[in-house]
A = this chain, B = another copy of it.
Amino acid sequence: MKTIIRVQMEAFSVGDEYERLTHDPDCGAVVTFTGLVRDLPHAAIQALELEHYPEMTERMLQGIADQARQRWSVRGITIIHRIGRLTRNQPIVFVGVASAHRHSAFQAAEFIMDFLKTRAPFWKKEETSDTCYWVAAKASDQRAAKRWEQDSAQ
């Protein structure tokens, strides 16, 4: 029934984080999400700089995990977000949920990602070979988070 929240410069190991989530004989389902630096439709990304609001980030991530626990019966939750400079193909964010049943693990993991995307104070600055700019927030992320408000059911 543990929640692990980490905000860090270093890379993480998805394998290790998965293992940590399975130390529970009542957990029959583990869902992990990993977000990676990917190429843009129009250009190859050289690097990405992640700024955050240190005093607020962990508290906000903890709050999102708590909300997921109120909605679904889940056991372990792990949220890891990297900050600083990341290069192509590197992992940025990890969300893992362990649960007795698969549906609650899938739902909780997607909920956490949708809320993290619209609430957690992180900002991305992307560098391509010839330019560098702050990433704009996406309307699709707002819609993704909004659908959980209507969705009162599991």
Binding site for B on A (CB under 8 A): 13-16, 18-19, 22, 25-39, 44, 88-89, 91, 100, 102-103, 105-106, 109-110, 113, 144
What does DSSP make chain A's interface, helix, strand, loop or mixed?
mixed
Given A15-B18, A18-B15, A109-B106, verify A35-B29 contact (CB < 8 Å): yes
Given A15-B13, A18-B14, verify A36-B31 contact (CB < 8 Å): no
Whether A113 pairs with B109 at a CB distance below 8 angstroms is no
Whether B18 pairs with A29 at a CB distance below 8 angstroms is no
Q: How far is the CB of A131 from chain B (nearest CB, A)?
A: 19
Whether A30 pairs with B25 at a CB distance below 8 angstroms is no
Contact of A36 among B22, B39, B106 (CB under 8 A): B22
Q: How far is the CB of A78 from chain B (nearest CB, A)?
A: 13
Q: How far is the CB of A126 from chain B (nearest CB, A)?
A: 12
Residues of B within 8 A of A31 (CB): 31-33, 109
Residues of B within 8 A of A109 (CB): 31, 106
Whether A32 pairs with B15 at a CB distance below 8 angstroms is no
Q: How far is the CB of A60 from chain B (nearest CB, A)?
A: 19
Whether B103 pairs with A106 at a CB distance below 8 angstroms is no
Residues of B within 8 A of A105 (CB): 33
